[in-house]
Amino acid sequence: MAHLVLTVAGSDRAGLVQALADVIAAHGGNWERSELAELAGTFAGVVLVEVPDAQRAALTGALGDLAGLLTVTEYPGVETSAVAPAEHVTFTVLGNDRPGIVRDITHALVGRGLTIDRLTSRTTATPMAGGELFEATVTAHAAAGADIAAAVAELEQLAAEIQVDLTVA
């Protein structure tokens, strides 16, 4: 069995997930995990699929046939049992929106040897304050030898500098 990571994107409309699921199922594939969302009129996401080795090429060809609906890019997946366990940290950032928040957070993480596993973010209008509120939740893991405590300390210092609230779980 082969694991494939599919990235998908297309103009949002009804039936996109169904069309993708139909193609995967028609080739003996199993839809294992996904993150899908509509952003500014575009439907986009990532899907982890397991497919029989003998059906991989046919699935790839059939995914190309979705070109009028979705653009699908295929990447080889790594079996999760082959991934070494790591120490994780999850935190939330909340504050007035401004350019560069994600850049600043990622610099702090990468500089301390952490890799982002998941980042979700959104902005929300704050009518009473007349601006936008930025909120992000980040889960990261530490590479061998990385110091999570030092990374958290750097994030706390950054939060004070850019005036956002940081909550570490």
pLDDT digits (tens, 9 = 90+) for 36-60: 999 999 999 999 999 999 999 999 9
Question: What's the distance, CA 29 to chain centroid?
Answer: 22
Reduce the DSSP state of residue 125 to 3 states and report it: strand
**DSSP per residue, 59-99:** HHHHHHTTTTT-EEEEEE---GGGSPP--EEEEEEEEE--T
The residues spanned by each domain of the chain are 2-81, 88-168
Return the ∠ at Cα 67 (arms to 61 and 68), rounded to 5°: 140
Q: What is the mean pLDDT of residues 83-94?
A: 85
Q: What is the mean pLDDT of residues 85-106?
A: 93
The burial class, CB within 10 Å (0-12 / 13-18 / 19+), for 65 is exposed
Domain 88-168 coded CATH 3.30.70.260: yes
The two structure tokens encoding residue 32: 């294992």
Tell me whether domains 2-81 and 88-168 share a fold.
yes
Condensed to tens digits (0 to 9), the pLDDT of residues 116-154 reads 999 999 999 987 878 899 999 999 999 888 889 999 999
Closest Cα to residue 4, out of 70, 48, 61?
48
- CB neighbourhood size of 72 (10 A): 20
What is 2-81's CATH superfamily?
A: ACT domain (3.30.70.260)
